């Protein structure tokens, strides 16, 4: 178990046909932790559903696509994921990762779980979107505002480095795109 304030790091590998976004959302709902982030994500897609800035609906892109980068936050109620992909010509495009983005050969992910925090999405009247709300896992504790973090940094307080754990083999049954395959991950 990670020390208080630490990060639990979990590597995941997805298989051909898996819905990248759906797998991450389902996986996060099954965890004890209530906050996570994508540290690293590479691999390939055969279909990408990307919602571009200012667009209300995703655009479907099909072909041999390389995942150049995948980043975002995970909570038990939603994921907010951004992806950059390259086509066979090396042209890169990116946006919000939507459901229906299918793994072509593999997706190799490193997820950071934050056991002391809780993420959730709530409508923000200022933006009109469901935005990230951050709170300590112990809901009785006061939330640290960004200004307080800046004040602590200026005062010389430094955060502890994230800690990694040795993995335990898990089998996630039938989480794929209707293929019923087993997916082996470590946690």
Tally the domains of the chain: 1
Which of 108, 41, 35 is CA-nearest to residue 73? 35
User: Is residue 147 within a helix (H) or strand (E), and if so which, with residue range?
Assistant: helix 146-154
pLDDT on residue 5? 61
Local confidence band at 138 (pLDDT 50, 70, 90 cut-offs): confident
Structural tokens at position 131:
């935005």
* Least confident piece of the model among 46-50, 69-73, 138-142: 138-142
pLDDT on residue 27? 97
* Contacts of residue 132, Cβ cutoff 8 Å, sequence gap at least 6: 73, 75, 80, 119, 120, 121
Assess if residue 64 is contained within a domain: yes
The domain that holds 114 is classified in CATH as 3.30.1330.80
Residues of the domain holding 46: 8-138+162-186
pLDDT tens-digit map of 27-66: 999 999 999 999 999 999 999 999 999 999 999 999 999 9
CA distance 51 to 99: 10
Assess if residue 118 is contained within a domain: yes
CA distance 82 to 58: 12
pLDDT on residue 46? 98
Structural tokens at position 60:
């479907």
CB 175 within 8 A of CB 103: no
72 strand-pairing partners? 38, 81
The Cα angle at residue 139 between residues 134 and 142, in degrees rounded to 5 = 75
User: Is residue 49 within a helix (H) or strand (E), and if so which, with residue range?
Assistant: strand 36-51
Assess if residue 79 is contained within a domain: yes
pLDDT tens-digit map of 166-180: 333 333 333 333 333
45 strand-pairing partners? 65, 103
Assess if residue 168 is contained within a domain: yes
Assess if residue 94 is contained within a domain: yes
């Amino acid at each position: 178990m990670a020390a208080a304030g630490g990060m639990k790091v979990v590597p995941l590998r997805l298989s051909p046909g898996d819905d990248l976004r759906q797998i991450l959302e389902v996986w996060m709902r099954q965890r004890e932790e209530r906050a996570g982030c994508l540290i690293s994500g590479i691999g390939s897609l055969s279909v990408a559903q990307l919602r571009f800035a200012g667009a209300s609906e995703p655009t479907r892109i099909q072909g041999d696509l390389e995942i150049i980068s995948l980043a975002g936050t995970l909570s038990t109620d939603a994921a907010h994921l951004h992806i950059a992909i390259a086509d066979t010509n090396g042209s890169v495009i990116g946006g919000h990762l939507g459901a229906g983005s299918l793994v072509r050969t593999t997706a190799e992910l490193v997820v950071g779980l934050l056991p002391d925090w809780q993420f959730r999405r709530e409508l923000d009247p200022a933006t009109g979107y469901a935005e990230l709300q951050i709170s300590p896992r112990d809901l009785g504790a006061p939330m640290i505002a960004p200004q307080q973090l800046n004040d602590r940094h200026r005062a010389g307080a430094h955060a502890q480095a994230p800690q990694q754990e040795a993995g335990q083999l898990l089998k996630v049954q039938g989480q794929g795109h209707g293929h019923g395959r087993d997916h082996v991950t470590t946690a």
